[in-house]
Amino acid sequence: MATRTVYLNGEYLAPQRAKVSIFDRGLLFGDAVYEVAGVLDGKLIDFSNHMARLKNSLAALSIESPLTEDEILVAYRKLVSLNTLQEGLVYMQITRGEAERDFVWQQGLTPTVFMFTQAKPNTEHKYENHGVKLSSCKDLRWARRDIKSVNLLGQVLAKQQACESGAYEALLIDEDGFVTEGGATSFFMIKNKMIMTRPLSNKILPGVTRKAVVTLAEQNKLEISECKFKLEHVYDADEAFITGASSYIIPVTRVDDQTITDGKPGELTLKLREIYLQTVRQSLI
């Protein structure tokens, strides 16, 4: 069995040696943030934008990062190397730290930081000939979805419901009936060549891959609109897709019991996927 190395508070350890206190506020209160960076060809995808989002999440919770961006980059690269990772992700979590249980946090706590890699081989070509199914459900998450916090129970319940219905991912619907995003992905639909996605606000996570797709669409003179739309509009879409750090762009061919057009990945979706992969390969670090 291949050995694995993880990171905890400056040390590179075997997973069974990496221990976090039961008094850590990340465990007790979900008082923590996380980031997930994709890895392709053994290198990191869009690292600077992941760090910008991490900085925003930490600031929103008034947590001081114990590591600089350069130190995080060194740790990410070392984990990728030690685990001989070619395609997959690096996960990092920063908690406020360890203290006696109290809703009000103490000042001067030492944050807990841990990181690990996960392999996701062959993701790049996995969905070229077929898409995935989504299952719609109510968006039960907390109000600050723009913060990448570890408060993920709403997503866990949604993705479990989707899994039990035979779907790849959940499609979350807000209290007014508008689509927000996937359980762990950003969502796009296409109608009459117009690419549409929910505008940024505290209702959705500012996805790094989402940002890249919006930018690439604009650069390639494709029509794109950041707008709100409902589930019935998705059922009537010409194409749909989801985006994520380690899954890139995945075509959606079915939502609930509705087939999207002919049930095959759309031409524009596959074009965007090709452009995205070509572009990120030029900026891997």
CA distance 278 to 163: 31
How many angstroms separate the first and last alpha carbons of the chain? Answer: 29
Cβ-Cβ contacts under 8 Å for 163 (sequence gap 6 or more): none
**Quick check: 39 and 246 in contact, CB under 8 A?**
yes
Check 43, 148, 159, 203 and give the catalytic one: 148
Q: Where do the DSSP E strands lie in 139-223? A: 169-173, 179-182, 186-191, 194-197
For the question of residue 148 being annotated catalytic, the response is yes
**Quick check: 33 and 103 in contact, CB under 8 A?**
no
Q: Buried b / exposed e across 214-226, counting CB within 10 Å, b at 16+?
A: bebbeeeebebee
CB atoms within 10 A of CB 278: 10
Catalytic residues: 148
